Amino acid sequence: DTAVSQTPKYLVTQMGNDKSIKCEQNLGHDTMYWYKQDSKKFLKIMFSYNNKELIINETVPNRFSPKSPDKAHLNLHINSLELGDSAVYFCASSQEPSAKTQYFGPGTRLLVL
Amino acid sequence: TQLLEQSPQFLSIQEGENLTVYCNSSSVFSSLQWYRQEPGEGPVLLVTVVTGGEVKKLKRLTFQFGDARKDSSLHITAAQPGDTGLYLCAGGLGGYQKVTFGIGTKLQVIP
């Protein structure tokens, strides 16, 4: 019974390609997030959606576009991938935007060659 | 500069030793969380502290929130190899409680 799941777990691709990462939560939460964790393990928020509406949009290149088809799903599409996009991307969810507990997915390891 | 500074960033100790990890900021947080992340997995919440001066215990782990709600500490008593992992503090700020993470403390407990 995976609470927050992400696919794929590993993604290796060439520079310039477009790729998508999918996230699903079965916790009935209203809020979902995307985080990026770099090689130094620093975890930084990218986006947050509440009930399919974007509520947090950090300084992220517009090559990154999140999409929430419903409140249980939050996908991340990346255009024109660059070497610096290589990182681990984590999806997370919480009951509401102000909730103190976030549940994280297992991460997607993206390597851009 | 990080909003939340964690120290030390790396810690390697022998099984049975005690240790303390610190999380400091110049900002006041409405709440502060501690997460543990194991290799290849996402962070898992250990505890949330919300009241200045609050102390919470989780088996051999003791968490404290500073009186001014700007800092926190995690103390582990008699560390075990199973405690090995990346410990992250995170604080909630702003109307939507945007969570900001510290850089993390990588702990290795040697048997």
Who among B43, B97, B103 is closest to A104 (CB)?
A: B43
Residue B41 sits at the chain A interface (C-beta within 8 Å): yes
Task: Give pLDDT tens digits for A30-52.
Answer: 999 999 999 888 899 999 998 88
Contact A55 B86 (CB under 8 A): no
Return the amino acid letter for B94: G
What pLDDT is attached to residue B1? 56
CA nearest B4 in A: which residue?
A42
Which residues make beta-bridge pairs with B13?
B109
Checking DSSP bridges between strand A103-104 and strand A87-94, what pairing results, if any? antiparallel
- For testing contact with chain A, the best of B93, B101, B107, B108 (most A CBs within 10 A): B101
Is the model more confident about B11 or about B26? B11
Q: What 8-state DSSP symbol labels residue A50?
A: E
Rg of chain A on CA atoms, in Å = 13
- Residue B14 pLDDT > 80, yes or no? yes
Which residues make beta-bridge pairs with A36?
A44, A89
Mean pLDDT for B41-66 is 94
How buried is residue A16: exposed, middle or buried, by Cβ count under 10 Å (0-12/13-18/19+)?
exposed
Specify the range with the lowest mean pLDDT, choosing from B22-26, B29-33, B75-79: B29-33
What pLDDT is attached to residue B16? 97
- pLDDT confidence tier of residue B30, bands split at 50, 70 and 90: confident
- Helix, strand, coil percentages, rounded to 5, for chain A: 5, 55, 40
Task: Give pLDDT tens digits for A60-100.
Answer: 889 999 999 999 999 999 999 999 999 999 999 998 777 67
| Whole-angstrom distance, CA of residue A88 vs CA of residue A9 | 9
What pLDDT is attached to residue A59? 76
